[in-house]
Amino acid sequence: MKKILGLFLIATIAGFTAVATYAGLNEKESQVVQVVQQQPTHFTRITPAESSTLDFTVAAERTVNAVVHVRTQTELDPMYNPWMEFFGHEDEPQIQQGSGSGVIISPNGYIVTNNHVIDGAQDIMINLNDNRSYEAEIIGVDPATDLALLKVDADNLPTVSFGNSEELDIGEWVLAVGNPFDLTSTVTAGIVSAKARNINLLRPDVDRKIFPIESFIQTDAAVNPGNSGGALVDTNGNLVGINTAIASRTGSYSGYSFAIPVSIVEKVTRDLMEFGDVQRAFIGVRINDVNEELATELGLKEVAGVYVDALIENGAASDAGIQPGDVIVKVGQTEVDNVPELQEQVSRYRPGDELGIEVLRDGNSKNLFLTLRDRDGGTELGKVAEKKVARILGAQLVDVSSSETAALGIQGGAKVTSLESGKFSTSGIEKGFIITKVDGQKIYDADDVTSILKSKSGGVLIEGVYPNGDKAYYGFGM
């Protein structure tokens, strides 16, 4: 009996102990949950109702039909094959095919794309989202911004409306629309990661008077080869940029892409439509970003603005009273913190336009007004007749360098640096050809060619020489 009572007492005590232990664990769990619930959260949960603001279907519907597939074909110089020569056959030219994207900006067939998509192409085909196809002509190109304007013979085409890239905020949602890897009508989404990026993508070419302007919109929307020339749009489907490049070590998307802001695109395409060339304005200064060391030296309150290192002789800045050592902080009504932002703002203007500039000088703010000029110091816009000649010829011409004139024994000339569809390519003129005479008239520089041909009609005889010394003659009708 004693053993039974002992066992009963032990069991009772163990039972109470177990209950007490269980209650204690529950209390600790309750405290843990309570503590977690009281912690401040750094994340916002989007409810189903709120998530409707992230619906991109409207933007996609407004854009996808106005983004086209650009296909190019370029004839390259034939590769030397000694066996072909041995058997008496000529080397056949190599055909290179390429593709990219473009954006329809007018119902009558104007399309903007990247210059690198169509550079050197002899044939350009445009494929619409509804499977219609058109042959395109090049209206004009701008290597300085990597933009090109094409035209197809069509009406009532779907278009994308221009938005406002300056109003884009960091973190704002955007869509990239294009044809990556030949996958037509592809839409990807991301946010604006940064603005006014200079990634040294475009290279200067002093002989061709190409001085790059880079002020890219950086996004994390997935962009791949084939997206070049496609649309970057906001959530309303308005064009805010033209996709141009990716940051990648593999050739495929690795996290960041870059687009030309529509503030530049709109100005360039308008000029190409009207003149066939970009009417680029210059302040007439040599500039650098303001760094911390310079800001301290100048006594600036902020590390911001653009430092004027030197002035161009007889430039707009010199005449307006800007001085070396000034810091440009505002162009028009827009503050500028670095060189890309300054270039983007000035690129919206033409020679002859008046512009207000705010500078800091010796700690004081000064407002100056200047009349913008072209690179040669003029204020007149390009003449339409000369631009028309360039489009007819389908070629870009530059002055021959002094080393080439010495090597070839010529006194001057105009060198063909690139060929598109036009009179030159159809007549057989090849890239690198140096024009020395037009209808017997001596050619000293590229301007001589356009000045002679702008009033020409009927047959034209072109004489010249190739870099290897071979002389050639070509004829065509204007």
- Point out the residues that are catalytic: 116, 146, 228
Contact status, residue 436 vs residue 452, Cβ threshold 8 Å: no
Closest residue by Cα to residue 410 from 365, 379, 442:
442
Which residues share a beta bridge with 366? 359
Are the CB atoms for 147 and 139 separated by under 8 Å? no
Which distant-in-sequence residues (6+ apart) come within 8 Å of 429 by Cβ?
395, 416, 419, 462, 472, 474
For residues 113 and 150, give the distance between their C-alpha atoms in angstroms, rounded to a whole number. 8
Question: 10 — phi, psi (to 5°)?
Answer: -60, -45
Return the amino acid letter for 370: L
